Amino acid sequence: MPTYTDQLNRKIYIPEKPQRIISLVPSQTELLVDLGLGEKIVGVTKFCVHPEGFKKKKQIIGGTKNFHFDKIDQLKPDLIIGNKEENYQEGIVRLAEEYPVWVSDIFDLSDAMEMMLGVGKITGSSEAAQQLVDKIRKDMDYVPKKKGTAVYLIWKDPIMVAGKNTFIDDMLARAGFGNLVGKSRYPEISMEELKEMDPDYILLSSEPYPFKQKHLDEFAATLPNSTIQLVDGEIFSWYGSRLLMARHYFENELS
């Protein structure tokens, strides 16, 4: 029986090429479509917004952290693709008792490309995955222009930021920013701490918290020494085929 290893070093057994795939992660849904597997996807989350209109054609199985197990059972998937950080452990464990569940675990660009090749292998689309990885590797092989220090906000009330050991941290460096957050993962910080850090840039992400112009104005009034900028959270945190857009965005759409 064919055996595959996911990024948690779990062994996944799949007897035949998957024909009924459920994706539990928005960026990986887009990746599967770009690998030519759109017709084989039977279920997605409510947050799988790319490609535009795609989720309307598929069964919505809930969110990334609250699965509707009855709907998943009705779909009879022969492969489920998830992510350690974006999904919740209890749900993944429960699904893995019944179905093949391949889980990614991504901290940087290298992990993302490894994930793409792994998904390609398990779905029988290795050639397309290799071509995609080659394009991304070539496109991201550059020395970014230094922009300055930055703090990247993912949430408000409480303020939560992207720290070390995150994919966002790697993308910040590739965009030319020096991340001032020394703590790991996604720590909470106070406004006073943010003032003391005195970053050149405060980057307000479009997701998971939907920062808008009004929030930019609020931070600008409180932190006049920093440049406050709204940024595309998908570019900084989606680790699938959307990476093809990253370099252009970093070089042309960030001040």
Q: What is the pLDDT of residues 176-219, one digit of tens each?
A: 999 999 999 999 999 999 999 999 999 999 999 999 999 999 99
Looking at the fold, whether 38 and 125 belong to one and the same domain comes out as yes
| Domain shared by 50 and 161, yes or no | no
Co-location of 40 and 154 in the same domain? no
Q: Does 124 share its domain with 238? A: no
Instruction: Return the axis-axis angle of helices 167-175 and 109-123, rounded to nearest 10°.
Output: 120
Residue 166 resides in a domain: yes
Separation in Å, CA 63 to CA 72, 222, 238: 12, 35, 16
Residue 178, in any domain of the structure: yes
Provide the number of structural domains found in the chain: 2
Q: Around Cβ 98, how many Cβ atoms within 10 Å?
A: 12
In a domain, 143, yes or no: no
Q: Are residues 87 and 191 in the same domain?
A: no
- Residue owning tokens 């055996």: 3
Q: Does 49 share its domain with 125?
A: yes
Residue that finishes a domain, picked among 138, 160, 178: 138
Of the chain, the percentage scoring pLDDT greater than 70 comes to: 100
One domain for residues 220 and 153: yes
Q: Is 154 domain-assigned?
A: yes
* Nearest of 167, 144, 166, 178 to residue 247 by alpha carbon: 144
Residue 41 lies in a domain: yes
Say yes or no: 192 and 132 in one domain: no
- Residue 118 sits in the same domain as residue 166: no
Band (pLDDT 50/70/90 cuts) for residue 233 is very high
Instruction: Compute φ and ψ for 123, nearest 5 degrees.
Output: -105, 0
DSSP code, position 173: H
Parallel/antiparallel/unpaired status of strands 79-83 and 159-161: unpaired
pLDDT band at 1 (very low <50, low <70, confident <90, very high): low
Which of residues 78, 108, 138 is at a domain's end?
138
> Can you say how many angstroms the Cα of residue 52 is from the centroid of all Cα atoms in its chain?
17
Same domain, 133 and 166: no
96 in any annotated domain: yes
| Same-domain check for residues 162 and 38 | no
Which amino acid type is present at position 248?
H
Convert the pLDDT of each residue in 54-104 to its tens digit: 999 999 999 999 999 999 999 999 999 999 999 999 999 999 999 999 999
Domain final residue pick, 138, 165, 187: 138
Q: Which domain holds residue 198?
A: 148-252
One domain for residues 13 and 130? yes
CATH number, domain containing residue 169: 3.40.50.1980
Residue 10 maps to a domain: yes
Expressed in percent and rounded to 5, the helix, strand and coil fractions of the chain are: 40, 20, 40
What does each C-alpha distance from 54 to 30, 31, 37, 89, 135 come to in angstroms? 9, 12, 12, 26, 24
Residue 63 domain flag: yes
